Amino acid sequence: MNMIEFLEFINPAVWVLTNVILLYISIALTGFVISYQVFFDPKSTTGGRMIFRFALSLLLVIFVVGIGIFVDPRLQISWNTLPPDVIWWRPVVRLFAYGYVAYTITALSVFLWKRKFRPESLKTAPDKLLVKPRHDTDEIKTIKEINS
């Protein structure tokens, strides 16, 4: 059995698994976007705003993709059926892409939760430190002091 025959054999299972991962991503991203807004202050830093906006934009993309799979599928094909015209390599690439998104959003959520509520469980010292605003010194003035 060559690689193409093997992929064509497992593609239906990979297609269903990937759709389940997509559902997980949408739930995880929704939870992340809500909890990031509730437990953290995304407006306090530029990075915080950018992380929040990226997660929200990814949630919107996943939402649109989910509509195409679960709500309004093309050719009226159920979410658990591999469409007949899918190229032989696409389900595996799709599995890796969605799997990596699921991994990264889960890892980010777990890290932020640990940093906020269990910093003692983090192993890397810089990860344990919470960002604090810089205090004014004679040499370094903060923007607030310069503008006032």
- pTM, rounded to two decimals: 0.76
- Residues whose CB falls within 8 Å of the CB of residue 97, separated by 6 or more in sequence, listed in order: none
pLDDT value, residue 97? 96
Higher pLDDT, 22 or 134: 22
30: its two tokens: 């929704």
Q: How confident is the model at residue 125 (pLDDT cuts 50, 70, 90)?
A: low
The tens digit of pLDDT for each residue in 19-63 reads: 999 999 999 999 999 999 888 888 888 888 899 999 999 999 999
In contact, 52 and 36? CB cutoff 8 Å: yes
